[in-house]
């Protein structure tokens, strides 16, 4: 059973930084695209409708970012640790959300910010940006 476990969330002040981790097990990153998605408070949505934040291809060579986080967030992988990271810099109150990582095994060298394409999801980690 594929598993994804997020960590690293917490309370951070506006303008601060946070690094989220997504540890995966029972599969290797080289076989799956990984995406980060978020769900803001009060916006209950099905998993497929969460806002796409960033993704990285199975090869690790391609990335994509939502316009709202470009230049502030960076996605990366450590294949030896089977972990994907989301470095969040210059955070804003509107970044407050539950952040989820997800895996897609059928994108073959691509990644997209469409939750419908991801079949495996973690449980999420809360990020709160507030002074």
Residue carrying structure tokens 């895996």: 103
Q: Has residue 48 got a pLDDT over 60?
A: no
Q: What is the pLDDT of residue 43?
A: 67
Share the mean pLDDT of the chain: 92
Q: What is the pLDDT of residue 45?
A: 59
**Cβ atoms < 10 Å from Cβ of 121:** 19
Give 126's contacts (C-beta < 8 A, 6+ positions apart): 9, 10, 97, 98, 99
Q: What is the pLDDT of residue 46?
A: 54
Q: Is 97 helix (H, G, I), strand (E, B) or coil?
A: strand
Q: What is the pLDDT of residue 87?
A: 98
Q: pLDDT digit string (tens) for 26-37?
A: 888 888 999 999
**What b-and-e string marks burial along 13-44, b requiring 16 or more CB atoms within 10 Å of the CB?**
eeeeebebbbbbeebebeebbbbbbbbeeeee
């Amino acid at each position: 059973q594929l598993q994804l476990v997020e960590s690293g969330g917490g309370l951070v002040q506006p303008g601060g930084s946070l690094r989220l981790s997504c540890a995966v097990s029972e599969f290797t990153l080289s076989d799956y695209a990984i995406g980060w998605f978020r769900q803001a408070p009060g916006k209950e949505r099905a998993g497929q409708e969460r806002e796409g934040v960033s993704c990285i291809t199975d090869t690790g060579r391609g990335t994509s970012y939502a316009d709202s986080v470009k230049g502030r967030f960076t996605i990366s992988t450590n294949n030896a640790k089977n972990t994907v990271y989301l470095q969040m810099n210059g955070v804003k109150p509107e970044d407050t959300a539950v952040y989820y990582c997800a895996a897609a095994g059928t994108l073959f060298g691509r990644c997209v910010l469409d939750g419908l394409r991801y079949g495996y999801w973690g449980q999420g980690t809360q990020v709160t940006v507030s002074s």
